[in-house]
Structure 1
Amino acid sequence: MQPQESHVHYSRWEDGSRDGVSLGAVSSTEEASRCRRISQRLCTGKLGIAMKVLGGVALFWIIFILGYLTGYYVHKCK
């Protein structure tokens, strides 16, 4: 892995009442391209469609179970 590049920017206003310092880090292009390859692999093509379908089914069941439990406790007879 390559070290991250960083920069510091210091700005001072004319009257000296406000000073500003901003720090920033830029990740290496190798790490960014690795993330891009993973996202392209998981979000496009047949695998991307399968991931979206599985995500939709999982979201449906989570909402269904939360709604069932909420309805059970709201309408529970005492």
Structure 2
Amino acid sequence: MEPQAPGVQYSRWEEVSVGAGPSPEEASCWERLSQELCSGRLGATLRMLGGLALFWVIFILGYITGYFVHKCK
């Protein structure tokens, strides 16, 4: 890093904002929707349902694949 002129101080944190994020007035519709769907009780429920759906999709694909792999000729 190059030396700086005397009396000039550099702060690498000057553009870092401290806080929990944008206020509800500043947040866009998508940000509010994302915040609502990804946190709290609703978010946990959606993650659980998504996990169950993924499990059944993988299970059914495995069943179909196994059927054709082990099918008698």
TM-score (norm 2): 0.62
Q: Which has the higher helix share?
A: 1
Runs (5+) with no aligned partner, structure 1: 1-31
Unaligned runs of 5+ in 2: 1-26
Moved over 4 A (4+): none
Deviation string 1:7-59 (CA, Å, 9 cap, x unpaired) is xxxxxxxxxxxxxxxxxxxxxxxxx7100011111110000000000000000
Q: Distance in 1 between matches of 2:35 and 2:70?
A: 46
User: Whose relative contact order is higher, 1 or 2, with alpha carbons under 8 Å and at least 6 apart?
Assistant: 1
Corresponding residue of 2:19: none
Aligned residue in 2 for 1:48: 43
What is the RMSD computed on CA atoms of the aligned residues?
Answer: 1.6
Aligned length: 48
- State the percentage of identical aligned residues: 66
Question: Which one has a larger percent strand, Structure 1 or Structure 2?
Answer: 1
What's the TM-score, normalizing by structure 1?
0.58
Q: Give the corresponding residue for 1:66.
A: 61
